[in-house]
Amino acid sequence: MSVSVYWIQAGGCGGDTMSFLSASDPDVAELFQACDIELLWHPSLSNHSPARQREITEGLAAGRIPLDVLVVEGAMVFGPDGSGGYDLRDGRPKKDLVADLAQRARFVVAAGTCAAFGGFGVGDEIDARGLQFVRTEPGGLLGAGFRSAGGLPVLNLSGCPVHPSILASAFTSLAMGSPIQLDAYQRPVDWYGTLVHQGCTRNEYHEYRVEESEFGEKGCLFFHMGCHGPLVGGPCNKTLWNERSSKTRAGVSCFGCTDPTFPQRNPFFETKNIEGVPVKLPRGVDRAHYLAYKGMAAAAAPQRLVERKTRV
């Protein structure tokens, strides 16, 4: 039996679609064929007329057309003044349409951090919210107690954009009926249960506190350059982008885009610190042990690391 999927873009976002189109092994077409996915609508992939698109949407909202998976990309826009008038479809707030469709779907998927947690527009005039969270607080559009017809909360696939392999894995699991273990923010543990830091090619520099203070050096980006790798969960150094690289491998700080608090208000390429000690410490590390360990580690750093010499 085929699995029906309806994909709606809200909050002006299309980045997660562009990421998904970069999926390989399998690519999008192969994935849909292998999982027997019937794509009812996608803003970039479907070629229905506007009239047919409205007919499908109205049929889904009324329950005349069965819906297995609702995918939402982009934040739920509540502004101005709770009306949702800043983001409309055919004169109707998209947030209201999404709420109706979510009640009909067997599963609801938030593609990207904005759909999951609100993202860039939280606290601003557009009053952006996630489907079931506002940043770290449960609630959002659907409310903390929401469960889809399949008995699950919203499946949050965070990232700016979400990694294409995560989307492919989610589609496969839902189509095959495989269980998905979720963390406290309703993200799949298999993808978000490890830190971005794990697998980073600069880990040895981090352990010995060989610090990078400007781009282009070889060193750890965490201490001065705003890297969130030791703070947030994500697969970027586990499953490389385009099977080739990641931000830290290219010498750019991890922005922490999978975290509910993304984007932070302070500059991306600056680590907030007190007397040289980062305000936010690596996950699971307390400040007293961190201060003692890092001082000894820096003193014991091998000369080849201090001199930024690559191991042969």
Contact 94, 43 (CB under 8 A): no
Examine the pLDDT at 93 and tell me if it is beyond 80. yes
Tell me: the pLDDT tens digits for 123-151? Answer: 999 999 999 999 999 999 999 999 999 99
Looking at residue 312, what is its pLDDT? 37
Which CATH number applies to 194-312: 1.10.10.10, 3.40.50.300, 3.30.565.10, 4.10.480.10? 4.10.480.10
Looking at residue 298, what is its pLDDT? 84
Contact 83, 93 (CB under 8 A): yes
Q: What is the assigned CATH class of domain 3-190?
A: alpha beta
Examine the pLDDT at 300 and tell me if it is beyond 70. yes
Looking at residue 198, what is its pLDDT? 93
For 223, phi and psi rounded to 5 degrees?
Answer: -75, -35
Tell me: the pLDDT tens digits for 186-226? Answer: 999 999 999 999 999 999 999 998 999 889 888 999 999 99
CA distance linking residue 32 with residue 249, whole number of Å: 31
Looking at residue 265, what is its pLDDT? 86
Instruction: Give me the percent of the chain exceeding a pLDDT of 90.
Output: 85
Examine the pLDDT at 311 and tell me if it is beyond 80. no
pTM reported for the whole predicted model: 0.94
Examine the pLDDT at 310 and tell me if it is beyond 60. no
Going by pLDDT thresholds of 50, 70 and 90, the confidence category of residue 309 is low
Listed by start position, the domains of the chain span 3-190, 194-312
Going by pLDDT thresholds of 50, 70 and 90, the confidence category of residue 157 is very high
Angle between helix 94-104 and helix 50-62 axes, rounded to 10 deg: 50
**Average pLDDT across the chain, whole number:** 94
Q: Give the rounded distance of the alpha carbon of 254 from its chain centre.
A: 13
Examine the pLDDT at 276 and tell me if it is beyond 80. no
